[in-house]
Structure 1
Amino acid sequence: MLLKQLSLTNFRGLSDISIDFVNENGKPRLLTLFLGENGTGKSSFLKAIALISAGSNALSNLLGNPNDWITFGESFCEVKAVFVTKDARNPKERNVSLRINRGESIKDILVNNSESLDEIDKALDYAERNYFILGYGASRRLNKNQSFNQPESSYNNDRTVNVATLFNTEANLYPLAAWVMELDYRSDGKSIDAVKNALNEFLVDVTFDSIDKQQRTLLFSNGKDLIPLHLLSDGYQNVSAWIGDLLYRIFNTFGEQANPLQTNGILLIDEIDLHLHPKWQRRLIGFLKIKLPNFQIIATTHSPLTAQQAGEGELIILSRNEEKTIDAQPFTAAPNTMLLHQLLLSPVFGISSDESLETEQLKAEYEEEKNKHGNTKRVKELSKQIEALPQVVRPNMVADDDVLDLLKTINAELQK
């Protein structure tokens, strides 16, 4: 199951927005990145997708206070989605909608939307793995629980737990060490290599080495030393935590398959590059696309390094228009064909120069002082300071809309 279209009305400040998740051939694209300033609704898109695909049982756990989903001052909100089964011979579209009226109870919402939600509920009744979806919020962190038991949770539904961190900052990921040790115990060591290989493929510059059964922890190697999981840097802990949880949920659901990572599904990640070094940011999307080739990845980012990995149509820009409502528009070129500074200086990041803020302010003061008062003593002082700055070896290439259109045209010609 993949997502083709999402429409939101009065949903957490998003007034009337529709986004297509398809490529030029009309097939669902497997990567979409949302980029925008804080407060433009990036996380809300991920939550809307999680809600509309949850099914009735999970939905009752995720909604919380229903009024909180409705834009302040409005009487209702609505989420509509078009899903398609990933069946090359006979793909089927399913239209699903969820309407929440202000003042309704969760029971009222489920009853009033039962006909639409029935599309997903029937699929889930047939096989729980249908409409497989995983979601990770920005507060994901390593769960250091060493118990073999399922972590305590207020949720009683696997589909709810699969997206819980998107909705609850206190929700736990499945403890990586506990799962790996449990798997090792149950399989008498026979299944651990598959997990070790999968985990190592996602990590950069460290590898999962072994299990310290006496200390009940996992040991990782940086090529020189062995380091317990809980002593890895925050960046490694963050990635190993949600990657480990992702692997657990995929293997737990599709473990009988020859290669569980080849399964289909939707992966939602808020702030995908959280805690990551720039070198790692540049590689993460590529790793996910290679290792989860049939997953539809939908994520948010603030980073030009992450945005640069998107192809044409894969980067959605969220911004406020003159009416102060949110617009969602595809980036007008292919970020993965642009230089990093071209992307950073494009209108989507709102940065006019790649010089330091101090240098930019110095030059601005020089221009203002010279225009107002002529060649004053202060202007001469500023001029000397500017002349003393290191020489720029290339011009600042601000990629405005005209430049982006030209790049797009050139790229189209090269493809012929």
Structure 2
Amino acid sequence: MKLHTLSLANFRGFEQLDMSFEPDMTLIAGVNGVGKSGILQVLAALFARALPEFTPCTAKPPVFVDEDIHYDKPSLEASISFSVDQQRCYGGIQRIREDADFGDVWRRFWMSDQEAKAQPRSFAEIIADRTLTGDLEAGRAETEEMLRGLKKRKQQPVVIYFTPQRQLPGRPRKLPPLKAFEIANAYNTALVSRQVDLREFIHWFRVVETEASEAHRIKGAGVLDNLREVVTTFIPEFKDLRIEESPELRFVVQKNSTDLAINQLSDGERGLLAMLFDITRRLSIANPDLHDPVAEGAGVILIDEIELHLHPKWQRQVLRRLCKTFKNCQFIVTSHSPQVIGQIRPKCLRLLDWNDDSNRIVLHPVSQSFGMDSNWVLQNIMGSPARDYETERMIGTIYDRIDEEKLDRAAELIADLENEVGLFPELQEAKSLLARLEMLRADETD
């Protein structure tokens, strides 16, 4: 399954936004308040509508409210296009302000990927064409038959939404009786804001460990080995994941040869484990016949604030490792971390910014990002000075004094700033310029 496009009209701060997505990783960046989180919320809501039609998902979709409608508009519209098993879906929701009876109206149209590629159209264009021709119900019987076939498959795609509240809780509650999981369990609470449920994960871990048949036991061991490999890939010092029930129920990991319970780990470690555990568990439940559901399972993974609680070193590695580990998944993530942005190629970056001319939030084109250091990203992509305001102001003052030929005062300011923060490239440049000017002045005096 792959998400192709999102279109928003009059949703919160967006008057109109059309966004495409890369098949592996798309990073949505921008300052606070430009709507990054809102985009993921819309995607989660739209997939919550679509998934029950072609998967065993039974989740109740969230509804939009009047507060989601742009402040001076009568309604909002949100639509996506995505592919699953050579079929293309165009689905959209409309909500009209102050019309509780009308509610959210969901419409969707399916066609083959081949047809969609031959005649690319938006959801709005399809609605308009079929309204004009009176074919809104065209192909309904064939579509329903196709959807029933998709729903019966043993290999199902998942969509998982991680909000900033995703962190693993410290201690699990008592486990329920062991019971094999149905594919539908892969979708439970996957598209709502939540902490990742450690109890659910331990329950799944224990079920996989204790499957009844020998064939299942062998496969279960493989799944758990895959999980342990995933964790070690992201956090090399972590080994030997296991459940302990005495003196109390807890999930334990060995870190640098020391056993630690989950609640003893840092916020960053628990936040990262929350995602790894949850993605692995859901892919495994949704794809019981796959040899390696981690690498082969398909899904769309939505992650808000990917950098949350992560050390800058981990921020630089996390996107690459997610794609390398969950090879058949598509990631749509948000961030305002320069460390994260510097690890993404421009074609995968969607930079949201406020446009003063049009007075709206727009997508800002980016030609360079990958491999750039954090200072460059701050200055050239995020529009923020690489240094703190006071240091930037002092550098400006030094150059002002040099321009005014007040070289003695410039030298004093350089010395003061060097004593306070040390020597850095911009200050070294000012210092070198001052030295050259002082030499020229001395020559003129001679």
Q: Which band: TM-score by shorter chain?
A: 0.7 to 0.9
Aligned mates of 1:247, 1:257 — CA distance in 2:
13
Instruction: Give percent identity, aligned residues only.
Output: 21
Q: What SS class does the counterpart of residue 113 from structure 1 fall into?
A: strand
Match of 1:80 in 2: 79
Q: Which residue of 2 aligns with 1:10?
A: 10
Task: Report what 1:149 is aligned to.
Answer: 176
Shift of 1:266: 0.5
Of 183, 192, 207, which aligns to 2:239? 207
The reply on whether 1:320 has 2:354 as its aligned counterpart is yes
Where does residue 205 of structure 2 map in the other structure?
180
Partner AA of 2:325 in structure 1: K
The answer to whether the Cα contact below 8 Å between 1:147 and 1:178 also exists between their aligned partners in 2 is no
Measured in 2, the distance between the counterparts of 1:237 and 1:301 equals: 19
* In the alignment, structure 1 residue 198 sits paired with structure 2 residue 192: no
Distance 1:380 1:286, change over 3 A: closer
TM-score, normalised with respect to structure 1: 0.78
For the residues of structure 1 that align with 2:49 and 2:145, how far apart are their CA atoms? 5
Map Cα deviations across residues 135-178 of structure 1 (whole Å, 9 max, x no partner): 1111112133333339xxxxx9864611112xxxx555353334
Relative to structure 2, which stretch is displaced further, 30-39 or 223-232? 223-232
> How far apart are 1:72 and its partner, in Å?
1.8
Superposition CA RMSD, Å = 3.4
Following the alignment from structure 2 to structure 1, what is the Cα–Cα distance between the partners of residues 65 and 176? 32
What is the TM-score normalised by the length of structure 2?
0.73
Q: Structure 2 unaligned segments of length 5 or more: list them.
A: 111-139, 178-183, 430-446
Counterpart contact for 1:2–1:83, Cα < 8 Å: yes
Given that 2:27 and 2:348 are in contact with CA atoms closer than 8 Å, whether structure 1 keeps it comes out as yes
Change (3 A) 1:288 1:380: closer
Do structure 1's residue 108 and structure 2's residue 102 form an aligned pair? yes
| Superposed CA offset, 1:211-253 (max 9, x none) | 3232321221122211112111111111112221222111111
| AA aligned opposite 1:99 | Q
Q: Which residue of 2 aligns with 1:248?
A: 281
- One-letter amino acid of the counterpart of residue 385, structure 1: D
Q: How many residues align?
A: 372
Question: How many Å apart are 1:60 and its aligned residue?
Answer: 8.3
CA distance in 1, matches of 2:195, 2:387: 41
8 A contact 1:8–1:78 mirrored in 2: yes
Q: Residues 44 and 193 of structure 1: is their aligned pair in 2 closer, same or farther, counting only changes over 3 Å? A: same
Task: State the partner residue of 1:229.
Answer: 262
Distance, in Å, in 2 between the alignment partners of 1:395 and 1:123 is 65
Residue 181 (structure 1) shift: 3.0
**2:163 corresponds to which of 129, 137, 141:** 137
- Distance of 2:352 and 2:212 partners within structure 1: 47
- Listed one character per residue, the Cα deviations across residues 291-312 of structure 1 (whole Å, up to 9, x for unaligned) are 1111110000111111122123
On the 8 A contact 1:315/1:331 being kept in 2, the answer is yes
1:379 Cα offset (Å): 5.6
Q: Residue 192 of structure 2: which of 164, 174, 193 is its match?
A: 164
2:415 equivalent in structure 1: 384
Q: What is the aligned partner in structure 1 of residue 123 from structure 2? A: none
**Structure with max Cα Rg:** 2
Is the CA contact 2:156–2:298 (under 8 Å) kept in the aligned structure 1?
A: no
Contact preservation (8 Å) 1:137, 1:269: yes
Task: Give the Cα separation in 1 of the matches to 2:148 and 2:393.
Answer: 58
In the other structure, the counterpart of 2:20 is: 20
1:288 aligns with 2:322: yes
Per-residue deviation, 1:288: 0.8
**Distance change in 2, residues 1:200/1:394 (3 Å):** farther
Match of 2:44 in 1: 50
CA 1:120–1:50 in 2, change beyond 3 Å: closer, same or farther? farther
Partner of 2:180: none
**Structure 1 unaligned residues grouped into runs of 5+:** 23-28, 151-155, 398-416
